[in-house]
Every structure is written in structure tokens, then in C-alpha cells.
Amino acid sequence: MAAAFQNKSHGSQQTTAASVEMKIRDATEADLPAIIEIHNTAIASRISTAQLEPVTVEGQREWFHAHSPTQYPIWVAELEGAIAGWLSFREFLPRCAYQGTVELSVYVSEKFRRCGVGKRLLQEAIARGPQLGMHSLVGLIFGHNEPSIALFHLAGFECWGLLPGVARVDESPRNLTIFGRHL
């Protein structure tokens, strides 16, 4: 699962139009510290996730082992020898009629944002979802998470729902949007 892409910028390092190889692969437990670091940066941003407290490697081991390469995998995007981002799948709703509909989350290191990593991970999910028994993908995204909403739109997701004010983030009411795409 490798793809060449145009690397536009890595933070302060401008590597305009450099062609860099990105590899998408199943995450291993050794990737957990990098996954957690990326996750914690997103938690601190207050726009990305309803998880509001930082997570730890030890605390996330059970979450990690609840995924497998054939059911609800976790993938990492590897770039320049670093974990640039990750994508995880999880059950959408427990009733069997929803089995082929899967929720996904995507997180990219701040160092590698706007390099096409998130787009590439979503493309991989769309391409490989049917082989994993998925017919529909759903992303639950805060209404104020503009980067994520722009990314999901770009990947062909549509807004299927809005749950107004269902979240409280630092006392402020926040909307939850449901973005979906059939495969």
C-alpha cells in the first residue's frame, strides 16, 4: 500500500513539490506511542474529538487490541520514516443490520498537515472498505471542525445529519455532524 504524492510543506520546512513516498500499513503495537502523541495533540486542540483528557499508551492498549487487520483495523501512514497519521475503524451501532456501516476516525500529525496524508488515508478506506465487509463509512465530526469537514467533503462524503448542541466542550455547546459515504 504505497503511494507517491506531492509534499507541499512540513511546518517550517518548505519542501515544495518534493516527491515523497507514503506507505499505508496496519498499525503494530510499536506504533502506539506515535499514535497517542498525534491523538493527544488533537485532543488539546478542542475541535477534533469528544475525548477531552489526554490518553496514555498503557490506557490505550485495550483499544488497540480491540482492532485487527481484518476487523476494524488501525492503519498508519508512514512518511520519511515517521508516523505521519493514522486511521481507525470501529463499530457504528451494535445491531446486526448496521454491520456493514463502519465509523472511521482520521488523525494527522501537525508536522505533516496539508501534505495529503488525511486524503490518502480516506482514499484507502474507500478503496479497501468493501474487502473488509463495509458498504458505508460514517465520520462523526464536530460542527466546528472545519479542516475535517473540508477533508471529508473532498473525499466524497456528504453531511447526513446534524445533532445540535449534543456536546459540551469546556462548557460550550457543540454540534455533532454525521458525514457519510456509501462504497
Ligand X SMILES: CC(C)(COP(=O)(O)OP(=O)(O)OC[C@H]1O[C@@H](n2cnc3c(N)ncnc32)[C@H](O)[C@@H]1OP(=O)(O)O)[C@@H](O)C(=O)NCCC(=O)NCCS
Interface residues with ligand X (CB under 6 A) are 42, 48, 105-108, 113-119, 139, 141, 145-148, 150-151, 154
Query: How far apart, in whole angstroms, are the C-alpha atoms of residue 50 and residue 21?
Result: 32
Smallest distance from the beta carbon of 182 to ligand X, in angstroms? 18
Counted residue by residue, the chain has a size of 183
If the CB atoms of residues 32 and 79 are measured against ligand X, the closer one turns out to be 79
If the CB atoms of residues 105 and 137 are measured against ligand X, the closer one turns out to be 105
Is 144:47 a contact under the CB 8 Å cutoff? Answer: yes
Query: How far apart, in whole angstroms, are the C-alpha atoms of residue 43 and residue 54?
Result: 7
Smallest distance from the beta carbon of 116 to ligand X, in angstroms? 5
| Residue whose Cβ sits closest to ligand X | 118
Smallest distance from the beta carbon of 82 to ligand X, in angstroms? 14
Smallest distance from the beta carbon of 153 to ligand X, in angstroms? 8
Smallest distance from the beta carbon of 21 to ligand X, in angstroms? 16
If the CB atoms of residues 129 and 139 are measured against ligand X, the closer one turns out to be 139
Is 89:183 a contact under the CB 8 Å cutoff? Answer: no
If the CB atoms of residues 10 and 32 are measured against ligand X, the closer one turns out to be 10
Helices (H), ranges, the chain: 32-45, 57-65, 117-128, 146-154
Query: How far apart, in whole angstroms, are the C-alpha atoms of residue 100 and residue 136?
Result: 6
If the CB atoms of residues 7 and 97 are measured against ligand X, the closer one turns out to be 7
For residue 146, count other CB atoms closer than 10 A to its CB: 11
Furthest-apart CA pair in the chain: how many Å? 48
